[in-house]
Structure 1
Amino acid sequence: MSNIMLVSVRERPGRSAAQGAGCQAADILAQFLIEAVLLTTIGGLIGILLGVGGALAIEALTEVPASITWWSIVLAFGVSAAVGVFFGVAPARRAGRLDPVIALRAE
């Protein structure tokens, strides 16, 4: 996740500024944080669905009982969103400080 965000830091700020979007550092920060949280939230939901489905499948196919609590689902979702924010802040701050000319030259 973090590597994907770091790679896209080099592309987007330069392109946005070059196209006349006039992106401010705060706009770029918001854009990267929204993307990071969205990606990790979707990944978290998929993980929760796979985890619950796997537990129910194991319970149906074996004699092992499955116990799925509401707090474990909330905790998994919260950790997923927190990872998105944590690993989205550094690339977002870096993108906000990046000079558009340098970003375009790197392409």
Structure 2
Amino acid sequence: MAQYIHLRSLREEGALSQSELSAILGIEKASSTRVLDELEQRQLILRERNREDRRVVVVSLSDQGRKKIDQAMKAARTAADRASRGFEEDELLQLFAAMDKLIGNLSS
């Protein structure tokens, strides 16, 4: 799941520094680094040093990473469509509100 979230964020936001990506995801930089190491090993991301500031590492999707996340996002949409079949829009809104509340309770 952590890999999916990292890839999806890069797909939606484009190239980001590791610090920016960690901040967007709301996770510690060390945790993000471990996930990015795995993704780089699988050749799903590229890491490059920023030319102006060599301390900054910019992360972007590789072509293979872009294909993988596009496939995963399509599968997630299909599953969500299937799971929500038969629900009225107001029922889905109530369900999402309840889930947000549940997540908030677990986070505090």
TM bucket, shorter chain? 0.3 to 0.5
| Higher Rg of the two aligned structures | 1
- Taking structure 1 as the reference length, the TM-score comes to 0.33
Looking at secondary structure, tell me which structure has more helix per residue: 1
Looking at secondary structure, tell me which structure has more strand per residue: 2
- Taking structure 2 as the reference length, the TM-score comes to 0.33
User: Highest relative contact order (Cα 8 Å, sep 6+), 1 or 2?
Assistant: 1
